[in-house]
Amino acid sequence: MLDTKSDTTAMTVMMMDTEIQQNRNRISKLEELLYIELPEKKLKLEQEKDENRRSQLIQQQRISAAELELPEISSRQRSRHRKTKNGYFAVRAQVGDFVTENRMELARARSGYERVEMSGAQAGAGS
C-alpha cells in the first residue's frame, strides 16, 4: 500500500515539477518582454515621436513662410493679370485694326474690279 501512495506522490511531484518549469518559462518570457523588448519599443516610439515633432516644426515654419509670401504672391498675380489683360486688349485692338484694314482693301479692290468691269462692258457696248 505504501507503494501506491508513493507512486501517487511521485506522480504528483512530477506534475508539479512540470508545471513549475512551465511557469518559469512563462516568467522568463515575460521578463524578456518587460526588460528587453518593451524598453526597445519604447525607445523606438520616443524616437519616432521626436522625429514627428521635428517634422511638424519644419512644416509649421514652411506654413509661416508661405503665409508671409501670400500678399507678395497675390500682388504679383494681380500685376500679371493686369499685364495679360492689357496685352489681350492690345492684341484684340490690333486684330480689329487688321480686320478693318483688310475689309477696306477688299472694298477698294471690289470697287476697282467693278470699275474695270463697267469700263469693259461700256467698251464692249460701244463696239
Amino acid 21: pLDDT: 97
* Residues 10, 12, 14, 17, CA torsion sign: negative
Query: What pLDDT does residue 20 have?
Result: 97
DSSP per-residue letters across 94-126? HHHHHHHHHHHHHHHHHHHHHHHHHHHHHHHHH
Q: pLDDT tens digits for the chain (127 residues)? A: 456 788 899 999 999 999 999 999 999 999 999 999 999 999 999 999 999 999 999 999 999 998 888 888 778 788 887 878 788 888 888 888 888 888 888 888 888 777 776 776 666 665 5
